[in-house]
Amino acid sequence: MTFDAFPVPSTRLVEPGDDQRWSTWPDTSPTERGPLPHPDWLVTEAAALDTELGLVKTGKEADVHLIERAVPGDPDRACTLAAKRYRTSQHRDFTRSTQYVEGRRTRSMRDERALGKKSTYGRELAATNWAFAEFEALRHLSQVGAPVPYPVQIHDDEILMEFAGHGITAAPRLAQVREDAVEIRRLYREVVEAMHDFARAGFAHGDLSPYNILVHNGRIVVIDVPQIVDLAANPSGLDLLHRDCVNVTTWFVRQGADADAEELFAELLAEVY
């Protein structure tokens, strides 16, 4: 147990202003935090404030906001984080989830029935399950060295993670990148290696495309993994892995790279079996 697991009221010399809250780090347990060791840039002090900086991206299931976590009066203790917030049951769409969640375990038969009936409880549970699935995937993938954002914490239906960008500007998606042939080939090799990282860990991204791969400081960062697929447990796993290969290679071929979906698929299968 670490001392930063508890609030320290005496260090809170200011009150949160508009668009601010106390850091939610003390409200999380070790299992709801990113893997050790925590990176040096991460602010874990209980006296820190989370300040809303704006909306980065909207989606069917979740919106991504930008926040600054900083200790008031200490300019050296500040970091920028992406906050992925899953929508309320009235405003989200999990219609595409069935194929992805096959093989995932639920906590009880009651939860299984609620998910199947799509009751109010079941819809709330679906959001929580997807949030935890994404957080756990990021934890595991970051531990094996895959190029994903470092998962800082999960609290309720909000995942805080490393922000890939400069200032308040997010890194561009791969689909937005315009590079010469040499750089395109290098980026393709990085994407292929990331897919190998996923496969060695027993996963397929499940929805990989140039739109959920960022290019930050010349390196790729794979994002949006709530639908990650367990290749052993999900009967559609290999189909989704093959689709990832087709989506990725099709885009790179259009950019002039030498890429073959079937060859890549065979390479990844060798990692799995």
Positions annotated as catalytic residues are 207, 224
Query: In Å, how far are 11, 103, 230, 258 from 272, measured between CA atoms?
Result: 50, 17, 11, 24
Residue 136 CA from chain centroid, whole number: 9
CA–CA dist 147, 195 (Å, integer): 10
Report the chain's terminal Cα–Cα distance, integer Å: 39
Pairing of strands 203-204, 229-230: antiparallel
Two tokens, residue 105:
């375990």
Two tokens, residue 142:
């970051």
CA–CA dist 82, 117 (Å, integer): 33
53, 80 in Cβ contact below 8 A? yes
